Structure 1
Amino acid sequence: MALIHRAVLKPTKLELLATWLPGRSWFQGPTVGETVNMGAYRFDDPAGEVGIETLLVRIGDGPVHQVPLTYRDAPLDGNDEWLVGTTEHSVLGPRWVYDGCGDPVYATALASVIFSADRQAQEFFEVDGELVPREPTMVVTGNPGAEVDVPLVAAIRDVVPGDPTLIVTDSVRLTVLHRLDRDTHLEGSTLTGTWKDQPTPLPLAYATPR
Protein backbone atom coordinates (compact mmCIF):
# COMPACT_ATOMS: atom_id res chain seq x y z
CA MET A 1 0.00 0.00 0.00
CA ALA A 2 1.22 3.50 -0.85
CA LEU A 3 -0.08 6.46 1.15
CA ILE A 4 -0.15 9.57 -1.05
CA HIS A 5 -0.02 12.92 0.71
CA ARG A 6 -1.90 15.91 -0.66
CA ALA A 7 1.23 18.02 -0.72
CA VAL A 8 3.16 20.64 -2.66
CA LEU A 9 6.66 19.83 -3.99
CA LYS A 10 9.14 22.58 -4.81
CA PRO A 11 10.50 21.92 -7.35
CA THR A 12 8.02 19.38 -8.69
CA LYS A 13 9.06 15.95 -9.94
CA LEU A 14 8.43 17.03 -13.53
CA GLU A 15 10.54 20.17 -13.06
CA LEU A 16 13.41 18.02 -11.78
CA LEU A 17 13.08 15.63 -14.71
CA ALA A 18 12.90 18.45 -17.27
CA THR A 19 16.50 19.39 -16.45
CA TRP A 20 17.83 15.90 -15.61
CA LEU A 21 16.45 13.76 -18.45
CA PRO A 22 18.19 15.49 -21.40
CA GLY A 23 21.54 14.63 -19.83
CA ARG A 24 20.91 10.87 -19.82
CA SER A 25 22.68 8.76 -22.45
CA TRP A 26 19.42 6.94 -23.21
CA PHE A 27 17.28 10.05 -23.66
CA GLN A 28 15.86 10.75 -27.13
CA GLY A 29 13.84 13.71 -28.37
CA PRO A 30 13.65 17.47 -27.80
CA THR A 31 15.24 19.00 -24.72
CA VAL A 32 12.74 21.85 -24.50
CA GLY A 33 8.97 21.82 -24.32
CA GLU A 34 6.37 20.91 -21.75
CA THR A 35 7.25 17.91 -19.60
CA VAL A 36 4.14 15.73 -19.29
CA ASN A 37 3.38 12.79 -16.99
CA MET A 38 1.72 10.12 -19.18
CA GLY A 39 1.18 7.64 -16.34
CA ALA A 40 2.82 6.27 -13.19
CA TYR A 41 2.92 3.30 -10.84
CA ARG A 42 4.39 2.62 -7.42
CA PHE A 43 5.96 -0.31 -5.60
CA ASP A 44 5.97 -0.96 -1.84
CA ASP A 45 9.07 -0.68 0.29
CA PRO A 46 8.47 -3.32 3.00
CA ALA A 47 10.41 -1.13 5.45
CA GLY A 48 8.15 1.81 4.68
CA GLU A 49 11.09 4.20 4.38
CA VAL A 50 11.63 4.75 0.65
CA GLY A 51 9.07 5.95 -1.89
CA ILE A 52 9.29 3.97 -5.15
CA GLU A 53 7.55 5.46 -8.18
CA THR A 54 8.01 4.98 -11.91
CA LEU A 55 6.83 7.71 -14.27
CA LEU A 56 6.16 7.68 -18.00
CA VAL A 57 7.33 11.10 -19.17
CA ARG A 58 7.30 12.95 -22.47
CA ILE A 59 9.07 16.22 -23.25
CA GLY A 60 7.40 18.21 -26.01
CA ASP A 61 6.45 15.98 -28.92
CA GLY A 62 9.22 13.47 -28.16
CA PRO A 63 8.86 9.78 -27.29
CA VAL A 64 7.63 8.51 -23.94
CA HIS A 65 10.38 7.50 -21.50
CA GLN A 66 10.00 5.21 -18.49
CA VAL A 67 11.80 6.72 -15.49
CA PRO A 68 12.04 4.81 -12.16
CA LEU A 69 12.52 7.11 -9.16
CA THR A 70 13.05 6.64 -5.43
CA TYR A 71 12.33 9.23 -2.75
CA ARG A 72 14.38 9.31 0.43
CA ASP A 73 14.44 11.48 3.55
CA ALA A 74 18.27 11.53 3.61
CA PRO A 75 21.07 11.16 1.07
CA LEU A 76 21.96 7.61 0.01
CA ASP A 77 25.65 7.17 0.82
CA GLY A 78 27.84 6.58 -2.22
CA ASN A 79 25.04 7.17 -4.74
CA ASP A 80 25.64 10.77 -5.78
CA GLU A 81 25.86 9.76 -9.45
CA TRP A 82 22.23 8.56 -9.29
CA LEU A 83 20.85 11.71 -7.65
CA VAL A 84 18.19 13.40 -9.79
CA GLY A 85 17.82 16.32 -7.37
CA THR A 86 16.27 17.45 -4.11
CA THR A 87 12.81 18.80 -3.46
CA GLU A 88 10.89 20.21 -0.51
CA HIS A 89 7.76 18.22 0.35
CA SER A 90 5.21 20.34 2.23
CA VAL A 91 4.31 17.39 4.50
CA LEU A 92 7.44 15.24 4.69
CA GLY A 93 10.12 17.93 4.41
CA PRO A 94 13.25 17.65 2.23
CA ARG A 95 13.36 14.67 -0.12
CA TRP A 96 16.30 13.28 -2.09
CA VAL A 97 15.14 11.98 -5.48
CA TYR A 98 17.22 9.21 -7.08
CA ASP A 99 17.29 7.34 -10.37
CA GLY A 100 15.78 4.05 -9.24
CA CYS A 101 18.18 2.04 -11.41
CA GLY A 102 20.94 2.87 -8.93
CA ASP A 103 18.92 2.27 -5.77
CA PRO A 104 18.92 -1.23 -4.24
CA VAL A 105 15.43 -0.70 -2.79
CA TYR A 106 14.03 -0.27 -6.31
CA ALA A 107 15.89 -3.37 -7.54
CA THR A 108 14.49 -5.42 -4.65
CA ALA A 109 10.93 -4.23 -5.30
CA LEU A 110 11.11 -4.80 -9.06
CA ALA A 111 12.45 -8.34 -8.66
CA SER A 112 9.83 -9.14 -6.04
CA VAL A 113 6.91 -7.98 -8.19
CA ILE A 114 8.15 -9.82 -11.28
CA PHE A 115 8.92 -13.17 -9.65
CA SER A 116 5.86 -13.21 -7.39
CA ALA A 117 3.47 -12.32 -10.25
CA ASP A 118 2.38 -9.32 -8.20
CA ARG A 119 1.06 -5.90 -9.23
CA GLN A 120 1.86 -2.33 -8.33
CA ALA A 121 1.09 -0.95 -4.89
CA GLN A 122 -2.47 0.23 -4.35
CA GLU A 123 -2.47 3.98 -3.66
CA PHE A 124 -4.55 5.77 -1.03
CA PHE A 125 -5.21 9.31 0.13
CA GLU A 126 -5.94 9.92 3.81
CA VAL A 127 -9.13 12.00 4.14
CA ASP A 128 -10.49 12.82 7.61
CA GLY A 129 -8.72 9.82 9.08
CA GLU A 130 -9.95 7.40 6.43
CA LEU A 131 -8.06 5.85 3.53
CA VAL A 132 -9.58 6.67 0.14
CA PRO A 133 -8.33 4.66 -2.88
CA ARG A 134 -6.64 6.60 -5.66
CA GLU A 135 -7.49 5.54 -9.21
CA PRO A 136 -4.34 4.14 -10.86
CA THR A 137 -3.06 5.66 -14.10
CA MET A 138 -1.24 2.43 -14.96
CA VAL A 139 -1.61 -1.27 -14.22
CA VAL A 140 1.56 -3.35 -14.12
CA THR A 141 1.87 -7.11 -13.63
CA GLY A 142 4.77 -9.43 -12.95
CA ASN A 143 5.01 -12.50 -15.19
CA PRO A 144 7.59 -15.02 -13.93
CA GLY A 145 6.72 -17.50 -16.69
CA ALA A 146 7.22 -20.41 -14.29
CA GLU A 147 7.26 -21.05 -10.56
CA VAL A 148 10.43 -19.34 -9.33
CA ASP A 149 11.60 -18.52 -5.83
CA VAL A 150 11.71 -14.77 -5.34
CA PRO A 151 15.43 -13.87 -5.23
CA LEU A 152 16.62 -11.91 -2.21
CA VAL A 153 18.42 -8.82 -3.49
CA ALA A 154 21.05 -7.68 -0.98
CA ALA A 155 23.17 -5.37 -3.11
CA ILE A 156 23.66 -3.94 -6.58
CA ARG A 157 26.94 -5.16 -8.11
CA ASP A 158 26.90 -3.14 -11.35
CA VAL A 159 24.69 -0.87 -13.43
CA VAL A 160 25.16 -0.50 -17.19
CA PRO A 161 23.29 2.65 -18.25
CA GLY A 162 21.61 2.73 -21.63
CA ASP A 163 18.35 1.76 -23.21
CA PRO A 164 17.75 -0.73 -21.81
CA THR A 165 19.59 -0.22 -18.53
CA LEU A 166 21.04 -3.38 -16.99
CA ILE A 167 21.06 -3.72 -13.18
CA VAL A 168 23.22 -6.59 -11.94
CA THR A 169 22.56 -7.58 -8.34
CA ASP A 170 23.96 -10.40 -6.25
CA SER A 171 21.00 -12.65 -7.15
CA VAL A 172 19.26 -11.34 -10.29
CA ARG A 173 19.85 -9.41 -13.50
CA LEU A 174 17.23 -6.74 -14.15
CA THR A 175 16.72 -5.00 -17.48
CA VAL A 176 14.73 -1.75 -17.46
CA LEU A 177 13.40 -0.35 -20.73
CA HIS A 178 13.29 3.43 -21.06
CA ARG A 179 11.87 3.94 -24.55
CA LEU A 180 8.55 2.13 -24.87
CA ASP A 181 7.79 2.95 -28.51
CA ARG A 182 10.05 0.22 -29.90
CA ASP A 183 9.49 -3.50 -30.37
CA THR A 184 11.74 -4.88 -27.63
CA HIS A 185 11.46 -8.52 -26.54
CA LEU A 186 14.22 -9.99 -24.40
CA GLU A 187 14.64 -13.27 -22.53
CA GLY A 188 13.51 -13.59 -18.95
CA SER A 189 10.56 -13.02 -16.69
CA THR A 190 8.75 -9.76 -17.38
CA LEU A 191 6.97 -6.78 -15.93
CA THR A 192 4.26 -5.64 -18.32
CA GLY A 193 2.03 -2.59 -18.15
CA THR A 194 -1.03 -0.91 -19.61
CA TRP A 195 -2.20 2.69 -19.45
CA LYS A 196 -4.72 5.00 -21.08
CA ASP A 197 -2.88 5.29 -24.39
CA GLN A 198 -1.67 1.66 -24.33
CA PRO A 199 -4.47 -0.84 -23.62
CA THR A 200 -2.38 -3.80 -24.84
CA PRO A 201 0.27 -4.92 -22.29
CA LEU A 202 3.80 -3.83 -23.15
CA PRO A 203 7.03 -5.09 -21.56
CA LEU A 204 8.55 -2.60 -19.12
CA ALA A 205 11.34 -4.68 -17.54
CA TYR A 206 12.89 -8.15 -17.55
CA ALA A 207 14.49 -10.29 -14.86
CA THR A 208 16.65 -13.41 -14.83
CA PRO A 209 18.06 -15.14 -11.73
CA ARG A 210 21.86 -15.30 -11.53
Structure 2
Amino acid sequence: MALLHKAHITPTKLELLAAWLPARPWYAGDGPLTRVAAARFDDPAGEVGVETLLVRAGEGPVLHVPVTYRGAPLDGAEEHLIGVTEHSVLGKRWVYDGTADPVYVSTLVEVIRTAGNEAVEEFEVDGGRVSREVDLKLTGSGAEVAPATEITGHRDGDPTVISTATVTLNVNRVPLIVVDPADKGVLSACWTGQETPAVLVHLR
Protein backbone atom coordinates (compact mmCIF):
# COMPACT_ATOMS: atom_id res chain seq x y z
CA MET A 1 0.00 0.00 0.00
CA ALA A 2 1.29 3.46 -0.96
CA LEU A 3 0.15 6.26 1.35
CA LEU A 4 -0.05 9.54 -0.55
CA HIS A 5 -0.48 13.12 0.63
CA LYS A 6 -2.64 15.85 -0.84
CA ALA A 7 0.11 18.41 -1.22
CA HIS A 8 1.62 21.13 -3.36
CA ILE A 9 4.88 20.19 -5.11
CA THR A 10 7.22 22.89 -6.41
CA PRO A 11 8.46 22.41 -9.07
CA THR A 12 6.01 19.74 -10.20
CA LYS A 13 7.05 16.29 -11.43
CA LEU A 14 6.31 17.25 -15.03
CA GLU A 15 8.32 20.46 -14.71
CA LEU A 16 11.32 18.52 -13.41
CA LEU A 17 11.00 15.93 -16.19
CA ALA A 18 10.54 18.57 -18.90
CA ALA A 19 13.95 19.98 -17.95
CA TRP A 20 15.67 16.59 -17.56
CA LEU A 21 14.30 14.44 -20.37
CA PRO A 22 15.60 16.31 -23.45
CA ALA A 23 19.19 15.45 -22.47
CA ARG A 24 18.43 11.71 -22.39
CA PRO A 25 19.69 9.70 -25.41
CA TRP A 26 16.31 7.94 -25.68
CA TYR A 27 14.15 11.07 -25.55
CA ALA A 28 11.73 11.55 -28.42
CA GLY A 29 8.97 14.06 -29.05
CA ASP A 30 8.44 17.74 -29.64
CA GLY A 31 5.99 19.75 -27.61
CA PRO A 32 4.64 20.13 -24.08
CA LEU A 33 5.20 17.19 -21.75
CA THR A 34 2.00 15.52 -20.58
CA ARG A 35 1.25 12.71 -18.14
CA VAL A 36 -0.15 9.53 -19.67
CA ALA A 37 -0.47 7.30 -16.59
CA ALA A 38 1.31 6.42 -13.35
CA ALA A 39 1.45 3.83 -10.58
CA ARG A 40 3.47 3.15 -7.44
CA PHE A 41 5.41 0.27 -5.95
CA ASP A 42 5.85 -0.29 -2.22
CA ASP A 43 9.22 0.27 -0.60
CA PRO A 44 9.20 -2.37 2.18
CA ALA A 45 11.12 0.03 4.44
CA GLY A 46 8.61 2.83 3.82
CA GLU A 47 11.35 5.39 3.21
CA VAL A 48 11.54 5.85 -0.55
CA GLY A 49 8.73 6.76 -2.93
CA VAL A 50 8.83 4.51 -6.01
CA GLU A 51 6.74 5.53 -9.02
CA THR A 52 6.40 4.39 -12.62
CA LEU A 53 5.50 7.32 -14.87
CA LEU A 54 4.42 7.26 -18.50
CA VAL A 55 4.69 10.62 -20.25
CA ARG A 56 4.59 12.00 -23.77
CA ALA A 57 6.11 15.09 -25.39
CA GLY A 58 3.68 16.49 -27.93
CA GLU A 59 2.80 13.80 -30.46
CA GLY A 60 5.90 11.74 -29.63
CA PRO A 61 5.91 8.18 -28.30
CA VAL A 62 4.93 7.22 -24.77
CA LEU A 63 8.05 7.28 -22.60
CA HIS A 64 8.62 5.06 -19.56
CA VAL A 65 10.25 6.99 -16.69
CA PRO A 66 10.63 5.24 -13.31
CA VAL A 67 11.43 7.72 -10.54
CA THR A 68 12.22 7.59 -6.84
CA TYR A 69 11.60 10.24 -4.19
CA ARG A 70 13.97 10.51 -1.24
CA GLY A 71 14.16 12.67 1.87
CA ALA A 72 17.95 12.99 1.52
CA PRO A 73 20.46 12.68 -1.35
CA LEU A 74 21.39 9.18 -2.52
CA ASP A 75 25.15 8.69 -2.10
CA GLY A 76 27.02 8.37 -5.39
CA ALA A 77 23.97 9.09 -7.57
CA GLU A 78 24.54 12.75 -8.44
CA GLU A 79 24.53 12.07 -12.20
CA HIS A 80 21.12 10.40 -11.91
CA LEU A 81 19.43 13.23 -10.02
CA ILE A 82 16.41 14.56 -11.92
CA GLY A 83 15.97 17.47 -9.55
CA VAL A 84 14.94 18.65 -6.10
CA THR A 85 11.38 19.59 -5.26
CA GLU A 86 9.59 21.04 -2.26
CA HIS A 87 6.68 18.97 -0.95
CA SER A 88 4.24 20.92 1.23
CA VAL A 89 3.86 17.97 3.64
CA LEU A 90 7.15 16.05 3.43
CA GLY A 91 9.53 18.95 2.78
CA LYS A 92 12.47 18.77 0.40
CA ARG A 93 12.52 15.69 -1.82
CA TRP A 94 15.36 14.49 -4.06
CA VAL A 95 13.99 12.96 -7.28
CA TYR A 96 16.11 10.33 -9.06
CA ASP A 97 16.02 8.27 -12.23
CA GLY A 98 14.71 5.07 -10.65
CA THR A 99 16.84 2.83 -12.86
CA ALA A 100 19.89 3.97 -10.86
CA ASP A 101 18.27 3.65 -7.42
CA PRO A 102 18.81 0.32 -5.64
CA VAL A 103 15.42 0.57 -3.91
CA TYR A 104 13.62 0.79 -7.27
CA VAL A 105 15.66 -2.06 -8.72
CA SER A 106 15.15 -4.45 -5.79
CA THR A 107 11.44 -3.61 -5.66
CA LEU A 108 11.05 -4.08 -9.41
CA VAL A 109 12.76 -7.48 -9.37
CA GLU A 110 10.54 -8.57 -6.49
CA VAL A 111 7.38 -7.58 -8.37
CA ILE A 112 8.51 -9.47 -11.47
CA ARG A 113 9.71 -12.62 -9.71
CA THR A 114 6.60 -12.93 -7.50
CA ALA A 115 4.07 -12.03 -10.25
CA GLY A 116 3.17 -8.91 -8.29
CA ASN A 117 1.28 -5.76 -9.22
CA GLU A 118 1.24 -2.04 -8.55
CA ALA A 119 0.58 -0.85 -5.02
CA VAL A 120 -2.83 0.18 -3.75
CA GLU A 121 -2.78 3.97 -3.40
CA GLU A 122 -4.51 5.65 -0.45
CA PHE A 123 -4.98 9.21 0.81
CA GLU A 124 -5.56 10.24 4.40
CA VAL A 125 -8.89 12.11 4.58
CA ASP A 126 -10.45 13.31 7.87
CA GLY A 127 -8.55 10.75 9.92
CA GLY A 128 -9.44 7.86 7.61
CA ARG A 129 -8.03 6.47 4.39
CA VAL A 130 -9.55 6.62 0.92
CA SER A 131 -8.31 4.49 -1.99
CA ARG A 132 -7.51 6.11 -5.32
CA GLU A 133 -8.10 4.30 -8.59
CA VAL A 134 -4.81 3.72 -10.39
CA ASP A 135 -4.73 4.44 -14.12
CA LEU A 136 -1.66 2.28 -14.83
CA LYS A 137 -1.96 -1.47 -14.29
CA LEU A 138 1.41 -3.18 -13.76
CA THR A 139 1.87 -6.96 -13.79
CA GLY A 140 4.92 -9.09 -13.08
CA SER A 141 5.05 -12.35 -15.02
CA GLY A 142 6.83 -14.40 -12.38
CA ALA A 143 10.42 -15.65 -12.73
CA GLU A 144 12.71 -18.12 -10.98
CA VAL A 145 15.45 -15.71 -9.97
CA ALA A 146 16.97 -14.55 -6.72
CA PRO A 147 16.19 -11.10 -5.28
CA ALA A 148 18.41 -8.20 -6.33
CA THR A 149 20.07 -6.08 -3.67
CA GLU A 150 22.80 -4.03 -5.36
CA ILE A 151 23.37 -2.35 -8.71
CA THR A 152 26.68 -3.39 -10.27
CA GLY A 153 26.30 -1.67 -13.65
CA HIS A 154 24.10 0.91 -15.40
CA ARG A 155 23.97 1.91 -19.07
CA ASP A 156 21.50 4.57 -20.15
CA GLY A 157 19.68 4.19 -23.45
CA ASP A 158 16.67 2.38 -24.85
CA PRO A 159 16.70 -0.05 -23.28
CA THR A 160 18.44 1.15 -20.14
CA VAL A 161 20.46 -1.84 -18.94
CA ILE A 162 20.80 -2.43 -15.19
CA SER A 163 23.18 -5.12 -13.93
CA THR A 164 22.97 -6.73 -10.50
CA ALA A 165 24.75 -9.69 -8.94
CA THR A 166 21.79 -11.96 -9.76
CA VAL A 167 20.01 -10.57 -12.83
CA THR A 168 20.20 -8.05 -15.65
CA LEU A 169 17.22 -5.83 -16.40
CA ASN A 170 16.40 -4.15 -19.70
CA VAL A 171 14.15 -1.16 -19.02
CA ASN A 172 12.28 -0.22 -22.21
CA ARG A 173 12.06 3.56 -22.34
CA VAL A 174 9.52 3.22 -25.15
CA PRO A 175 7.18 0.38 -24.08
CA LEU A 176 7.22 -2.65 -26.38
CA ILE A 177 3.72 -3.27 -27.65
CA VAL A 178 4.39 -6.75 -29.10
CA VAL A 179 4.15 -9.19 -26.19
CA ASP A 180 4.67 -12.94 -26.07
CA PRO A 181 2.14 -14.24 -23.49
CA ALA A 182 4.54 -17.08 -22.66
CA ASP A 183 7.43 -14.74 -21.91
CA LYS A 184 8.64 -14.90 -18.32
CA GLY A 185 10.64 -12.32 -16.45
CA VAL A 186 8.77 -9.25 -17.64
CA LEU A 187 6.86 -6.31 -16.21
CA SER A 188 3.93 -5.45 -18.44
CA ALA A 189 1.52 -2.52 -18.33
CA CYS A 190 -1.93 -1.47 -19.52
CA TRP A 191 -3.37 2.03 -19.52
CA THR A 192 -6.21 3.93 -21.15
CA GLY A 193 -5.84 3.54 -24.90
CA GLN A 194 -3.41 0.62 -24.45
CA GLU A 195 -5.49 -2.31 -23.28
CA THR A 196 -3.10 -4.85 -24.84
CA PRO A 197 -0.21 -5.33 -22.37
CA ALA A 198 3.01 -3.54 -23.28
CA VAL A 199 6.35 -4.65 -21.86
CA LEU A 200 8.15 -2.08 -19.71
CA VAL A 201 10.96 -4.29 -18.37
CA HIS A 202 12.66 -7.55 -19.39
CA LEU A 203 14.56 -9.48 -16.72
CA ARG A 204 17.47 -11.57 -18.03
TM, length-normalised to structure 1: 0.92
SS at match of 1:178: strand
SS at match of 2:116: coil
Distance in 1 of aligned mates of 2:123 and 2:177? 35
Tell me how far 1:28 sits from its aligned partner: 1.4
Distance in 2 of aligned mates of 1:192 and 1:57? 16
Q: Does 1:142 align with 2:140?
A: yes
Is contact 1:159-1:165 (8 Å) kept? yes
Is contact 2:12-2:85 (8 Å) kept? yes
Corresponding residue number in structure 2 for 1:38: 36
Q: Does 1:102 align with 2:100?
A: yes
Corresponding residue number in structure 1 for 2:188: 192
Please tell me the residue identity of whatever aligns with 1:196. Answer: T
Q: Which runs of 5+ in 1 are unaligned?
A: none
Q: Which runs of 5+ in 2 are unaligned?
A: none
Of 47, 51, 54, the residue aligned with 1:49 is 47
Please tell me the residue identity of whatever aligns with 1:170. Answer: A
> Superposed, which structure 2 residues align to 1:151-166 within 5 Å?
151-166=146-161
Q: Deviations over 1:30-69 (max 9, x none)?
A: 2xx3211000111100000000001100111211100000
> Superposed, which structure 2 residues align to 1:1-210 within 5 Å?
1-30=1-30, 33-144=31-142, 148-149=144-145, 151-180=146-175, 183=178, 189-208=185-204
Tell me how far 1:181 sits from its aligned partner: 6.1
SS at match of 1:62: coil
Give the number of equivalent residue pairs. Answer: 202
SS at match of 2:174: coil
Percent pairwise identity: 51
- Bigger mean CA deviation after superposition, 164-173 or 6-15: 164-173
Tell me how far 1:180 sits from its aligned partner: 2.2
Tell me how far 1:152 sits from its aligned partner: 2.5
How big is the alpha-carbon RMSD for the aligned residues of Structure 1 and Structure 2?
1.5
Q: Deviations over 1:135-154 (max 9, x none)?
A: 0011111002x5x25x2222
Is contact 1:138-1:194 (8 Å) kept? yes
SS at match of 1:63: coil
Please tell me the residue identity of whatever aligns with 1:71. Answer: Y
Tell me how far 1:74 sits from its aligned partner: 0.2
**Cα distance change, pair 95–52 in 1 and its aligned pair in 2 (3 A):** same
Is contact 1:152-1:171 (8 Å) kept? yes
Distance in 1 of aligned mates of 2:171 and 2:47? 23
Runs of at least 4 residues off by over 4 Å: 181-185
Tell me how far 1:182 sits from its aligned partner: 5.9
Please tell me the residue identity of whatever aligns with 2:195. Answer: P
